Structure 1
Amino acid sequence: MTPSTEESPQMSVEDFEEIEHHAPETVRLEFINGRLEVKAVPDGSRGEIFMWLLRQCMQHRPDLNLMPERGLKVEAYRKGRARTDGSLAPVGHFRGHGEWSDPEGVLMAVEITSRDNDTNQRDRIDKPIGYGEADIPVYLLIDRDDNTLTVFSDPKDGRYQQAPSYPWGAAVQLPAPVGITLETEELKDYAD
């Protein structure tokens, strides 16, 4: 069987949206690189890490909202559908949007790795490509497997040009247009 790709997807975007619309609330589906993917439901530590980031964003940039579980149209030509753990955008940006928003105006996409078998492919490979192709300025990956934060930035020609990683505990500068320095010492409480 030939693997699915953006060039030969498993199904159309419209078919995916129909399936996703009828999926139970306990299942979170994404359509990345032409493949239907099931995203793990957040566990308690993952939720706490999201709340830590939300507090930091609110403190440093009250003009922005970090929206949880936002559906974005990603990849080249907006053929993918990703449900971010968080999407940072100006206050009111998503007003009137449906379930899947165009990424224009989103300043940062956030993913916190899951404890599932697909997290490597999904969060470390597919999502940097999809978010880069969508020209989202910053992609923040909070990686619970190796206790790091990777800051993907400077998308050009569909690829992020920068992707430095920092250990939990470091001060992490999120570049413009986000412009926040994250104090990550608290994340050490969630190391396994």
Structure 2
Amino acid sequence: MTPSTADHVPHAQLSVEDFEQLARTSPETVTLELINGKLEVKPVPDGDHGTIFMWLLRQCMQHRPDLDLHPEQGLMVEAYRQGRARPDGTLAPRRHFAGQGEWAPAEGVLMTVEVTSYDHDTDRSDRNEKPHGYAASNIPVYLLIDRESGTLVVHSEPDKGRYRQQHSYDYGDAVPLPGPVDITLDTEELKNYAR
């Protein structure tokens, strides 16, 4: 099976083994994920997407040098590890992923980050499906940087596959990331990347 031109294959139910084989053999220009048993193709990020990731990386390094923010680290997510995701960013203790394979367990991850793309699938994927997958994996914080709305949405307190807390902040606000992350983001710079 090869990825189609569609971003989402609505009826394809893949086993984790079949997905991992497909992901290993796909071209480097394609990033695949398995969310809720469905094959997902992540859009190629644009320049602002990468710049926003670097902004966050600098903030994390400044406030928490004991942590690393990994770009597109493969994670086993969802109940019983039946999903595979590559968050735009994964915050974990330094050297946490050393010795791990392509798909690492979510245990020990403090935060996942997604920066939205301007595509039709963002609402379903980044705003709905991924929060459930990350919460089901007990990842304490999910940060969604939503470029369409100019907001940062902080999800926390995972419980029974959902985040109990969700707070939205506008670009320019001070954004507190709760424990175990314990960072307050200065988001003034993000106003430069608003459309």
TM-score > 0.5, shorter chain as reference: yes
Does 2:84 match 1:81? yes
Alignment of 1:129-140 (within 5 A): 129-140=132-143
Give the alignment partner of residue 112 of structure 1, picking from 87, 110, 115: 115
Alignment of 1:1-192 (within 5 A): 4=11, 10-192=13-195
Q: Aligned partners of 1:142 and 1:158: how far apart in 2?
A: 21
Q: Aligned partners of 1:184 and 1:44: how far apart in 2?
A: 18
Q: Deviations over 1:129-163 (max 9, x none)?
A: 00000000000000000000000000011210001
Residue 106 of structure 1 deviates from its aligned partner by 0.3
Q: Aligned partners of 1:41 and 1:96: how far apart in 2?
A: 27
Residue 71 of structure 1 deviates from its aligned partner by 0.6
Residue 34 of structure 1 deviates from its aligned partner by 1.0
For structure 2, the 5+ residue unaligned runs are 1-9
Q: Aligned partners of 1:55 and 1:74: how far apart in 2?
A: 26
Q: Secondary structure at the match of 2:107?
A: coil
Residue 110 of structure 1 deviates from its aligned partner by 0.3
Residue 113 of structure 1 deviates from its aligned partner by 0.2
Residue 86 of structure 1 deviates from its aligned partner by 0.4
Q: Aligned partners of 1:11 and 1:94: how far apart in 2?
A: 26
Number of aligned residues: 186
Q: Aligned partners of 1:150 and 1:110: how far apart in 2?
A: 10
Residue 116 of structure 1 deviates from its aligned partner by 1.4
Q: Which runs of 4+ in 1 moved over 3 A?
A: none
Q: Aligned partners of 2:120 and 2:126: how far apart in 1?
A: 11
Note the aligned Cα RMSD (angstroms).
Answer: 0.8
Q: Aligned partners of 1:139 and 1:38: how far apart in 2?
A: 20
> What is the TM-score normalised by the length of structure 2?
0.94
Q: Aligned partners of 1:97 and 1:182: how far apart in 2?
A: 29
> What is the TM-score normalised by the length of structure 1?
0.95
